[in-house]
Amino acid sequence: MEDDDISDTDSIDGAPQLRPQSLMLAFFGNHVLEEGELCVYSGSIIDVLGRVGVGEQAVRSTLTRMVGRGLLRRQREGRKMYFGLTEQATRVLQDGRVRIWRNGAVNDDWDGDWTLLGFSLPESRQRERHDLRSRLVWSGFGALYSGLWIAPGRVDVAAVVAELGLTAHVKIFHASADAATDIGLMIRETWDLESVAARYVSFDKRWTAHLNAGPGDDPIGARLRLVSEWLWTIRTDPRLPGRHLPPDWPARPAQETFRKVADQTTAPARRLAHELLDTMPLR
């Protein structure tokens, strides 16, 4: 999942201003990805995204844009237009699912290895540099120096580089730090820990209040916001080694809150989706 697909701004209260495309991806990840070869009527999508503040015109333009980007495919049935996932979108969502549900927010199993990636691209390829940096951030990398990026553990990033057509411009290594290297200092210099921590604190505060208020009458909208905001929260977190983070690192309590709200909303959101969504098999 790319940086541009998620979100990049905060509102005054600290909650992310999520882009329609990030909410659309969360919608398909929640209600289509595990249901098999399905497509969803555009009117159903407009209904659900309207529950989280996305207007009809924004939904329609986002659907069109995502078709153009190869993330969704159209399927007409009579006068209705349905939308389903492409193989590319399925890969994006499966990657996001691993980040959300399988990998913990705190890395307690780090074995001391690092992945190093060096690249050199001329100024004329500025867009490609931006795309590479965005994908590296999502993959857990931070800029150790200008053209040298580092991530904890053995990160399989070769496929990402190949997809961007930059294999010839990138060198990848796996290594461990020398004893003379202050890993804690390196982490603090490479990643903005205060910013990452602030996202977790803000998420935990917002969703603890929701948890205490009960499931409410719109579980499908709540779950859509929950998953989208959690993805936004973890986007810049490289899952740094737990033993090199502050003892009060807020990722763990935020993750506990996320999972509690997810458990609270799973069944009612699924029931409501079955009532609301007009779906049909993808041809």
Asked if pLDDT for residue 270 goes beyond 80, the answer is yes
**Mean pLDDT value of segment 55-68:** 96
Asked if pLDDT for residue 3 goes beyond 70, the answer is no
pLDDT (tens digit per residue) in 98-118: 888 888 888 888 999 999 999
Contact (CB, 8 A) for 57 and 45: no
b (16+ CB within 10 A) / e for 39-63: bbbbbbbbbbbeebebeeebbeebb
Contact (CB, 8 A) for 26 and 231: yes
Nearest to 249 by CA among 197, 191, 186, 199: 197
Nearest to 174 by CA among 198, 200, 155: 155
Look at the chain and count its residues.
Answer: 283
Percent of the chain, pLDDT > 70? 94
Please give the model's pTM, rounded to 2 decimal places: 0.85
Asked if pLDDT for residue 215 goes beyond 80, the answer is no
Q: Which residue has the tokens 């153009």?
A: 68
Distance (Å, whole) CA 128 – CA 167: 12
Give the pLDDT of residue 5: 44
**Mean pLDDT value of segment 255-273:** 93
**Mean pLDDT value of segment 178-182:** 93
Asked if pLDDT for residue 146 goes beyond 70, the answer is yes
Give the pLDDT of residue 188: 92
Nearest to 24 by CA among 89, 99, 80: 89
Q: What is the mean pLDDT of the chain?
A: 89
Give the pLDDT of residue 108: 86
Per DSSP, helices labelled H in 69-116 are: 87-97
Asked if pLDDT for residue 7 goes beyond 50, the answer is no
**Mean pLDDT value of segment 248-264:** 94
**Mean pLDDT value of segment 53-79:** 95
- Assign 3-state DSSP to the chain and report helix, strand, coil percentages, each to 5: 55, 15, 30
The most confident of the ranges 68-77, 95-104, 105-114, 207-216 is 68-77
Distance (Å, whole) CA 122 – CA 131: 14
pLDDT (tens digit per residue) in 112-145: 999 999 998 887 788 888 999 988 998 889 999 9
Asked if pLDDT for residue 6 goes beyond 50, the answer is no
Asked if pLDDT for residue 74 goes beyond 70, the answer is yes
Q: Which residues pair with residue 142 across a beta bridge?
A: 150
| Residue 8 region by backbone torsions, left for phi larger than 0, else alpha for psi between -120 and 50, else beta | alpha
Give the pLDDT of residue 12: 44
Give how far Cα 120 sits from Cα of 137, 141, 162, Å: 17, 16, 15
Nearest to 63 by CA among 48, 83, 47, 80: 83
Q: How many CB atoms lie within 10 A of CB 192?
A: 11
Continuous segment of H or E residues that includes residue 152? strand 148-152
